[in-house]
Amino acid sequence: MNSELLIQLDELEACLKATGLWQDEPISAKALTSTEPFCCDTMTFAQWLQFVFLGKMRTMVESDEALPEDMAIAPMAEMVLSEHLYFNAVHQCLKNLDNTIAKSA
The CATH number assigned to the domain holding 67 equals 1.20.1440.40
Q: Is residue 78 part of a domain?
A: yes
Q: Is residue 8 part of a domain?
A: yes
Q: Is residue 59 part of a domain?
A: yes
Domain count, the chain: 1
Q: How far is CA 17 from CA 81, 86, 96, in A?
A: 15, 11, 18
pLDDT single digits (tens) 80-93: 999 999 999 999 99
Q: Which domain holds residue 88?
A: 2-24+35-104
Q: Is residue 77 part of a domain?
A: yes
Q: Is residue 30 part of a domain?
A: no
pTM, whole model, 2 decimals?
0.93
Instruction: Give the ranges where the chain is alpha helix by DSSP (H).
Output: 2-18, 45-48, 54-62, 74-80, 87-104
pLDDT single digits (tens) 4-47: 999 999 999 999 999 999 999 999 999 999 999 999 999 999 99
The DSSP output letter for 4 is H
Instruction: Report the C-alpha gap between 67 and 9 in whole angstroms.
Output: 14
Q: Is residue 54 part of a domain?
A: yes
